[in-house]
Chain A
């Protein structure tokens, strides 16, 4: 199995619900707590497995805002695991999930240095590295109803922009979506073979933008309109 996520950049609205749901689930999960420092202070900071950035694509008027959630890509060739000296970082053979054994980590930061995606964050209180677990403590929990055995971020996404599944199965939803919508990997040139894919925004017709009329009468009307409005 090659478990991973698909993020639909077309429908993501950047609401940060995935990040909050992730924090809520995982802070009491196997790698919890997700320590916060100065949560009510001037510069609140803390451990998050999921961060959302907002980008502007293209130039005006052909521009677009894209919300960009990022968590661990669960790379097939995970450099964070290669560089780990203690064996705390490991990649599960059965499903490809990359995890940190909290009991073995010595907090040297080298895995975070090796990760291009910023997926790993050091917990300064516990002194160990923490990262997305793909909700390994959810997706195999037989006490949960079957349709809830998904990562918390996928479950909560109100825009249905996140999908979870097995990329090794060509008929799974994630494989089909990646194939049909042209799912992309991030920074493939580094060769870490990230598993998660990002579906590009669909092409939509441009909304017509206001242009100044060239007709002299229209120009005068335009000028009067602006004058009256003021």
Chain B
């Protein structure tokens, strides 16, 4: 699949934003040992909303006819893209009410209604990321995406980036306890584990073959001629292919930048004093790694239409 920059930017950025607001809202709902101040909650929510909104705006650059984008909420009964769009739009009034009440000084861990609103905000954010993943997971034409690990990956990576940002922003606006930062690093470990399982899961060829694609199931089938001399929409969109060794190298880049480096930075860099610089390094590395991961998510996906362009199995 052609890795479109707008979609990579959208899924990484808004995924991190939803992860951050989910952690912030849920954290604020309970009376933990290190409660956030109202100002901190506002700062974290504002950063999350900037990330979410810039991601959503970027996603519209992927549309060839954005003037009809407003129609995209009309088929929520069947389409995961419509569900994602609707969840993303309806999230705004909920999070705005939450932010407004925080600004008015309502403490989420004291008032039952506010606790419920904070939890709703957090769960809604996670469900929105889930529906983003389901857009891809629901496509039976792409074996690498059509499995339960796809939405799980989207959620775990969103929460991981959100968790690291959460620590960084708390550190920037005051102080963050070592325990909280360690929890963020555990999220990195969990996200890495899920991603490694995903890489193994998509490793073995298991999809349709050129035989079922052409109905000749008892003989060898080879493409002689594809029928066009230049590229087509189909070859541009689905024919994207990268050399195997480069993909493996990029997997390592994603693993090192996205997971290994941030974990090591946190585990060995966590000190008594100000950890802001250390956390900033971890966040930057994690974002770069997840961007490579998202690029790979598209580049490694093989659409079955490639069977009509010469592939033997997808």
A residues contacting B by CB (< 8 A) are 16, 42-45, 47-48, 51-59, 65-66, 68, 70, 79, 81-88, 103-110, 112-118, 121-122, 124, 126-128, 184-192, 198, 200
Which of A45, A116, A189, A190 is the one whose CB lies under 8 Å from B231?
Answer: A45
- Shortest C-beta distance, B91 to chain A (Å), equals 17
The B interface, classified by DSSP as helix, strand, loop or mixed, is: mixed
Contacts of B225 in A (CB 8 A): 53-54
Listed from nearest, the 4 A-B pairs whose CB atoms lie closest are A107-B64, A127-B65, A127-B64, A184-B215
8 intermolecular pairs with C-beta atoms under 8 Å apart:
A70-B308, A85-B81, A87-B71, A108-B72, A118-B308, A127-B63, A187-B208, A189-B208
Please report the number of residue pairs spanning A and B whose Cβ atoms sit closer than 8 angstroms. Answer: 179
Interface size on B, residues (CB 8 A): 55
Stretch of B31-39, B191-199, B216-224, B243-251 that contacts chain A: B216-224
Contacts of A42 in B (CB 8 A): 230
Which of A44, A82, A191 is the one whose CB lies under 8 Å from B230?
Answer: A44
- Asked if B241 is an interface residue, CB under 8 A from chain A, the answer is no
Q: Do B228 and A189 touch (CB < 8 A)?
A: no
A186 to B305, CA, bound (A): 12
Q: Do A190 and B81 touch (CB < 8 A)?
A: no
Contacts of A106 in B (CB 8 A): 63-69, 71-72
CB proximity to A under 8 Å, residues B53-112: 62-69, 71-75, 78-82, 85
Q: Which of A53, A88, A114 has the most CB of B within 10 A?
A: A53
Known pairs A54-B225, A118-B238; list 19 more (Cβ under 8 Å).
Answer: A43-B229, A43-B230, A45-B232, A51-B227, A56-B221, A56-B222, A57-B220, A58-B219, A59-B220, A66-B214, A81-B78, A85-B74, A106-B64, A106-B72, A109-B62, A116-B208, A118-B234, A128-B64, A198-B215
Stretch of B8-16, B139-147, B163-171, B258-266 that contacts chain A: B139-147
- Asked if B138 is an interface residue, CB under 8 A from chain A, the answer is yes
- Shortest C-beta distance, B216 to chain A (Å), equals 6
- Asked if B304 is an interface residue, CB under 8 A from chain A, the answer is yes
Q: Do A82 and B68 touch (CB < 8 A)?
A: no
A88 to B78, CA, bound (A): 13
Q: Do A86 and B74 touch (CB < 8 A)?
A: yes
Q: Do A115 and B141 touch (CB < 8 A)?
A: yes
- Asked if B226 is an interface residue, CB under 8 A from chain A, the answer is yes
- Shortest C-beta distance, B188 to chain A (Å), equals 30
* Contact A55:B138 (CB < 8 A) given known A187-B213, A200-B215: no
Q: Do B64 and A122 touch (CB < 8 A)?
A: yes
Q: Do B75 and A84 touch (CB < 8 A)?
A: yes
Contacts of B304 in A (CB 8 A): 116, 187, 190
Q: Do B141 and A116 touch (CB < 8 A)?
A: yes
Q: Do A85 and B308 touch (CB < 8 A)?
A: no
- Shortest C-beta distance, A66 to chain B (Å), equals 8
Q: Do B305 and A118 touch (CB < 8 A)?
A: yes
- Asked if B294 is an interface residue, CB under 8 A from chain A, the answer is no
A51 to B229, CA, bound (A): 12
A65 to B222, CA, bound (A): 10
Q: Do B81 and A110 touch (CB < 8 A)?
A: yes
A191 to B216, CA, bound (A): 18
- Asked if B274 is an interface residue, CB under 8 A from chain A, the answer is no
Q: Do A108 and B81 touch (CB < 8 A)?
A: yes
Contacts of A110 in B (CB 8 A): 79, 81, 135
